[in-house]
Structure 1
Amino acid sequence: MSTAEFESQLHQWRHSLHKHPETGFEEVSTSEYVAQQLEAMGLEVHRGLGGTGLVASLTVGDNPTVIGLRADMDALNITETTGKSYCSQNHGKMHACGHDGHMTMLLGAAKLLTEKKDFNGTVRFVFQPAEEHGRGAKAMMADGLFDQFPIDEFYGVHNWPGLPAGTISTRVGGIMASEDNFEIKIKGKGTHAARPHMGKDPLVIAAEIILALQTIISRNLDPSIPAVISCTEIHTDGIRNAIPTHVVITGDTRSYSPDVQKMLEERMRKICEGICHMHDAECEFSYTHEFSPTVNHEKCVQTAVLAARNIVGDSKVDANVPAMMASEDFGAFIEKVPGCFAFIGNGVEADGKGFTPLHNSNYDINDDILAVGANYFAEIIRTRMPI
């Protein structure tokens, strides 16, 4: 297959996947489409891991090393506005994060490796459901992913608008943050807005809590260690002329290590309960771990950087990209096995108007980077398991 034919195939796969987006744990048609392409390459496909996830393996030679490559499959509940010829046909759903491109890159790598077989070892092509809400990786592992299909090292990518198209960036250590969600329920005593002294105003208490939470990062954490606490919603049962009884504050935190996660949770709980106690109000505080931090392993980063340089050249590789505060479900995998996550630049500008961000109704992954991702994935295998 010529380079032009290969790129044409990548575009065909990507546009077909883009037309038929499905959200987390509903990727039935998506998974079947991917499975059929893999089977057409002669691979045996194992379906149904973590619901709609699937795994295909290819062994060449006698090297016992097993390397995993992963792509996510789910779309978002967003109505597409790109107007492209291959625009989403599932109203209210679209691939606004480029997972259609990630699947295409991994299919492309499978195509290259099954045709050339220019490595010695085993590669596993892992297609994961439900990345967007941080549950797909855990679901696949709960279904025995690593028991049924042992993996020594795991590699993944994400397209990244704002980085030059076709560049590859990674780093040792934390590259994407954890996401922990919190809910703070405050019960005061409602009263007439003209008679505040007759009640216990939970909105005033909530305001104190929101401000106090911001001191955790600035006064409890080493300034060189990144973390974020964001209160994003406030709900009350009050009306214009009545002070409420109940207020609920929700939001999330971002960080890169379990120690920081633990500190944030403990300090937040103490502040919320303490302020409520000071005002003789009741407090319920809950804190849940949604995404693990994505922490790259040094040896795997070395492999990834070498493979990237072989594909795009040294000038287009950043081996120490700044860490991102966004979260990625791949982190749950590489808590269990060594691995590396990388960004493939989607482009900096479009028509001089600035780039479209992820999770935007007008987002469309750049077709020109599909071959870069496919070749990068394949080169990881050749680099790590040479003939």
Structure 2
Amino acid sequence: MLTTQQLSKIRRDLHQMPELALQEQETQKHLLQVIGQFNQQNLQVMTFSQLPTAIIVRIQGSHPVKTIGYRADMDGLPVQEKTNLPFSSQNEGRMHACGHDLHMTVALGILSYFSDHQPQDNLLFFFQPAEESESGGKLAYEQELLAGQLRPDEFFALHVTPDLPVGTIGCRLGTLFAGTTEVNIDLYGQDGHAAYPQRANDMIVAAAQLVDQIQTIVSRSIDPVAGGVITIGKLEAGVVRNVIAGHAHLEGTIRGLTQTMIERIDERLRAVAAGIAKSYDAKVDIQLNQGGYWPVENNPELTAEFIDYLQQTPQITYQETQPAMTGEDFGYLLAQFPGTMFWLGVEDRAQLHAATFNPREEAITVGVETMIGFLTAHMHRDEGEQ
């Protein structure tokens, strides 16, 4: 099993080589080198032409009744690092600002243990590219990487958070992360001279009315005790002060705690846009793109068992957390396979995606030991239920 010092070195090596979605070639090469040093007796290591930077490692169980999956995302962000750490990113304009270097390191730590201690059930470690964009989890599912012998019966994953003390495990029943949808809206009317508005069709006015009505969707169409939000973060229209704009472009996001809620917001947004088109005699083109960023809805039974394990294990500090409105494409995989995602506290003043994000490495060992302990207890519990 990898030592604390070895885990720290692996994390620092990975931190220096952040790569963007679907470009994780050096990261994959490094992961394969590390995995190649483990006991290979029960391991099957696979790469895939249809998703070239992904890795799946399958461990054959001693008396398997199911396959348990564990996912670790690989990609970095287009952020210029400003931590001044001696192991800062060596890739200009790229940084592991979301903690995926820790995610991969924790997965390697768990994998190294079970390579030496054959698990009862089959284990499947999925090193996933393209979480930050391109919906790598959805791509893997659609391209059937997680099918047949590689289909998990359950799936687990973690995400680091600077908002919890180092090593604290945060989780909850229900939704952990919201789902997100990108919104792009174009309104087409007729440009014209500012002095002759009757001869034009002003899309700034139409866009303003649309933005105003969008704000009523959550407040009047969504259960007030539930959570959802629509943000229009960009509006472009017009070229000069004395010309009426014949085109306006809006960009924003929808965030909701359940897929049903997101689909309801989508439906209302389309209806409101259609109403604006009719009211202003305009053409309104609306594009909604959710991709794989579905809500992370934890499976009730597995999550209850996981939380019970955390609460019953004295060396683990557990904290129930509230849903976060940030997005995560593990939600798409949880819509296909029952599973649980949880937070691992890394205690930092800087937030995720910040150029100064510097998570505490002590949390790595906590994540590794927590999952080794839980998976072992989980497999033994299932054995008792046979």
The two structures have a TM-score, normalised by structure 2, of 0.92
Partner SS, residue 59 of structure 2: strand
Deviation larger for 173-182 or 42-51: 42-51
For 2:268 and 2:164, how far apart are their aligned partners in 1?
A: 36
Match of 2:298 in 1: 296
Match of 1:365 in 2: 359
Deviation larger for 51-60 or 153-162: 51-60
Question: Are 1:306 and 1:383, in contact at CA under 8 Å, matched by a contact in 2?
Answer: no
Residue correspondence of structure 1 range 210-229 to structure 2 within 5 A: 210-229=211-230
For 1:304 and 1:246, how far apart are their aligned partners in 2?
A: 52
Identity, in percent, stands at: 29
Partner SS, residue 44 of structure 1: strand
Match of 2:89 in 1: 88
Residue correspondence of structure 1 range 196-235 to structure 2 within 5 A: 196-235=197-236
Match of 2:36 in 1: 39
Question: Are 2:21 and 2:134, in contact at CA under 8 Å, matched by a contact in 1?
Answer: no
Match of 2:15 in 1: 18
Match of 1:137 in 2: 137
Offset of residue 34 of structure 1: 0.8
Q: Deviations over 1:23-61 (max 9, x none)?
A: 101101101211221121023310126331111111232
For 2:74 and 2:257, how far apart are their aligned partners in 1?
A: 25
Offset of residue 131 of structure 1: 0.3
Residue correspondence of structure 1 range 184-203 to structure 2 within 5 A: 184-203=185-204
For 1:6 and 1:98, how far apart are their aligned partners in 2?
A: 20
For 2:99 and 2:228, how far apart are their aligned partners in 1?
A: 26
Equivalent position amino acid for 2:351 in 1: P
Equivalent position amino acid for 1:17 in 2: L
Question: Are 2:236 and 2:250, in contact at CA under 8 Å, matched by a contact in 1?
Answer: yes
For 2:312 and 2:82, how far apart are their aligned partners in 1?
A: 37
For 1:173 and 1:322, how far apart are their aligned partners in 2?
A: 10
Residue correspondence of structure 1 range 53-64 to structure 2 within 5 A: 53-64=54-65
Match of 2:161 in 1: 160
Match of 1:352 in 2: none
For 1:134 and 1:151, how far apart are their aligned partners in 2?
A: 22
What residue ranges of structure 2 are gaps of 5+ in the alignment? none
Offset of residue 276 of structure 1: 2.5
- Assess, with a 3 A threshold, how the Cα gap between structure 1 residues 292 and 134 changes in structure 2: closer, same or farther: farther
Equivalent position amino acid for 1:329 in 2: D
Question: Are 1:110 and 1:378, in contact at CA under 8 Å, matched by a contact in 2?
Answer: no
Work out which structure has the larger RCO, using CA pairs closer than 8 Å and 6 or more positions apart in sequence.
1
Aligned Cα RMSD in Å? Answer: 1.8
What residue ranges of structure 1 are gaps of 5+ in the alignment? 350-354
Question: Are 1:212 and 1:271, in contact at CA under 8 Å, matched by a contact in 2?
Answer: yes
For 1:201 and 1:17, how far apart are their aligned partners in 2?
A: 52
Question: Are 1:157 and 1:342, in contact at CA under 8 Å, matched by a contact in 2?
Answer: yes
Question: Are 1:123 and 1:381, in contact at CA under 8 Å, matched by a contact in 2?
Answer: no
Offset of residue 251 of structure 1: 0.7
Offset of residue 208 of structure 1: 0.8
Equivalent position amino acid for 2:88 in 1: C
For 1:169 and 1:278, how far apart are their aligned partners in 2?
A: 48
Q: Deviations over 1:333-353 (max 9, x none)?
A: 111111000001121x5xxxx
Q: Deviations over 1:204-232 (max 9, x none)?
A: 11111101101011111110111111111
Q: Deviations over 1:163-208 (max 9, x none)?
A: 1221111111111111111211111221223443432111111111
Question: Are 1:176 and 1:256, in contact at CA under 8 Å, matched by a contact in 2?
Answer: yes
Offset of residue 309 of structure 1: 4.1
The two structures have a TM-score, normalised by structure 1, of 0.92
Q: Deviations over 1:290-341 (max 9, x none)?
A: 3111110012112322443466646x212x4211111111111111111000
Match of 2:377 in 1: 383
Equivalent position amino acid for 1:293 in 2: P
Question: Are 1:23 and 1:75, in contact at CA under 8 Å, matched by a contact in 2?
Answer: yes
Equivalent position amino acid for 1:363 in 2: F
